[in-house]
Structure 1
Amino acid sequence: MENYSKIMGIPVPKITMDYSVELLNNVIQQNKPELFHVVTLNPEITMSCQHDKQLRSIIDEAGLLTADGIGIVMVSRLKGNPLPERVTGCDLLIKLLETGNQNHWSFYLLGADEATSKKTSEVINRTYQNVSILGRHHGFFNELEEAKIVEDISSLRPDILVVALGAPYAERWIHKNKNKLNAKIAIGVGGSLDIIAGKVKRAPAIYRKLNIEWLFRLMNQPSRWRRQLILPRFAVRALLFKENKT
């Protein structure tokens, strides 16, 4: 049995949350010069990869893919090559903060609006007192500001660069700047800063356990219904997709 499950042609490693954190801990300890790009793969990115060759190459070059969303995991199970569990961007970020608190890791936060970015930094500093937030910047910047942000990150050399610019823009941004960032790890985390800051309420544990977090989000943010139409489309296309065995 392979150590990955193919989802619409993309090989997704069969790894748990704990193993993901262990792997990233090793990356930080090894202190290699090249950036390690983590992509939390969701149905939207997977669908976009079918017609966007540049995005697909970014995904193929990533250091680690995780299954972000129950849709990815359910398709793997229905196709008979199951992934062990979801490893979402938000959950992975929280686990990295917990581990970073034990190991005195440093972070840089990029994304969200200014108030949310500031509040997130305050919450992390209060909750994880051994973690260093070396710097932060909101996600609404122009090209001139972007150059300064990249320079700032490069000079600060964080262990982990957290990019909350939305998918797949975060993945493109990390890939475009990967040779200039001087971070050990970079990860796109979607709207995770909104959750940490308390701007968006996280689904209760029972919703997460039953894998219906999407339903809680839809009830609390009805405007998301158009975006969530991609989920049934993804499920049908992914289940009918003829995977190459090689």
Structure 2
Amino acid sequence: MKQVVKIMGIPFPKITMDETLDKLSRVIEQNNSELYHVVTGNPEIVMACQHDRQLRSIIDEAGLITADGIGIVMVSQIRGGSLPERVTGCDLLFKLLEEGNKKSWSFYLLGADEATSKKSAEVIAQTYPNVSVVGRHHGYFKPEEDLEIVNEIQSLAPDFLIVALGAPYAERWIHKYKDDLNARVAIGVGGSLDVLAGKVKRAPQLWQKLHMEWLYRLMKQPSRWRRQLILPRFAWKAIFYRESNSSN
């Protein structure tokens, strides 16, 4: 069992991107009937888990939690745990597509608007020709449409179910239907389909290397400022959090 670092009670394994890919490759090869839920854990999810017991139980039951954001990694370093690197939903999606192109994996895309969903499937077909997008559905569906979508995913049995419904809604949706989806791995990836489709541009490599991608996104999308307010709150609480206070 890999060592873990607890951030406000949430156990993050000390795992790199390459190790994550290797782990998920083995999950696909093992072909287990049980869905493997990957949570890309960002500060918002960690903070929400402090008062949302249902979400916390979902996170506790997940197969893998990755460090989605430099804030998670930096807090781990300050607290002496030192997670090796970020494993964000967006980066992981692109890595899975690259690996899937070598291994002929299949994907189902759930989320974003219809135009973005369609464009994402087209980009995958052009860039990763050996990857199969066996199905897709936009994210603007009503609760009464859930079962129709679940039945479609079940019949298509994708290797990977990519859920771009936003956190923590994606995590709740995956968990609610995990016994019926008939996918090997399900991952919530936030707005990654927007990036894949070219609707939203990622920060240049230099900004990413400096761990300032959040600032670049804020400059490009000033409307995100309210959402970004959680970052300093998370950092303060997480650094001084006493893990023994966790009831889980």
TM class, shorter-length? over 0.9
Q: How far 1:144 moved relative to its partner?
A: 2.9
Any residues of structure 2 matched to 1:84-123 within 5 Å, and which?
Answer: 84-123=84-123
Any residues of structure 2 matched to 1:76-87 within 5 Å, and which?
Answer: 76-87=76-87
Q: How far 1:81 moved relative to its partner?
A: 1.0
Q: Deviations over 1:190-228 (max 9, x none)?
A: 000000000001111001101010010000000000000
The alignment partner of 1:179 has SS state of coil
Q: C-alpha separation between the residues in 2 aligned to 1:159 and 1:188? A: 14
Q: Deviations over 1:33-91 (max 9, x none)?
A: 00000000000000000000000000000000000000000000001111000000000
Match in the other structure for 2:164: 164
In structure 2, runs of 5+ residues without a counterpart are none
Structure 2 counterpart of 1:92, one-letter code: L
Q: Deviations over 1:88-133 (max 9, x none)?
A: 0000010000000000000000000000000000000000000000
Match in the other structure for 2:236: 236
Structure 1 counterpart of 2:79, one-letter code: K
Structure 1 counterpart of 2:85, one-letter code: E
CA RMSD of aligned residues (A): 1.1
Q: C-alpha separation between the residues in 2 aligned to 1:166 and 1:61? A: 19
Q: C-alpha separation between the residues in 2 aligned to 1:235 and 1:183? A: 35
Any residues of structure 2 matched to 1:201-220 within 5 Å, and which?
Answer: 201-220=201-220
Q: How far 1:172 moved relative to its partner?
A: 0.2
Q: C-alpha separation between the residues in 2 aligned to 1:236 and 1:144? A: 40
- Are residue 137 (structure 1) and residue 137 (structure 2) matched? yes
The alignment partner of 2:149 has SS state of helix
The alignment partner of 1:26 has SS state of helix
Match in the other structure for 1:187: 187
Q: How far 1:245 moved relative to its partner?
A: 9.7
Q: C-alpha separation between the residues in 1 aligned to 2:44 and 2:56? A: 12
Match in the other structure for 2:18: 18
Match in the other structure for 1:7: 7
Match in the other structure for 2:59: 59
Match in the other structure for 1:36: 36
Q: Structure 2 length normalisation: TM-score?
A: 0.97
Q: Structure 1 length normalisation: TM-score?
A: 0.98
Q: C-alpha separation between the residues in 2 aligned to 1:106 and 1:244? A: 42
Structure 2 counterpart of 1:239, one-letter code: I
Q: C-alpha separation between the residues in 2 aligned to 1:170 and 1:145? A: 15
Q: C-alpha separation between the residues in 2 aligned to 1:45 and 1:194? A: 20
Q: Deviations over 1:7-53 (max 9, x none)?
A: 00111000000000000000000000000000000000000000000
The alignment partner of 1:244 has SS state of helix
Q: How far 1:143 moved relative to its partner?
A: 2.5
Q: C-alpha separation between the residues in 2 aligned to 1:87 and 1:81? A: 16
**Aligned structure 1 segments of 4 or more residues deviating by more than 6 angstroms:** none
Number of residues paired by the alignment? 245
Structure 1 counterpart of 2:198, one-letter code: G
Q: C-alpha separation between the residues in 2 aligned to 1:118 and 1:244? A: 47
Q: How far 1:240 moved relative to its partner?
A: 1.0
The alignment partner of 2:82 has SS state of coil
Q: Would the alpha carbon gap of residues 245 and 27 (structure 1) be closer, same or farther in structure 2, given more than 3 Å must change?
A: farther
Match in the other structure for 1:196: 196
Structure 1 counterpart of 2:86, one-letter code: R
Deviates more, 1:171-180 or 1:135-144: 135-144
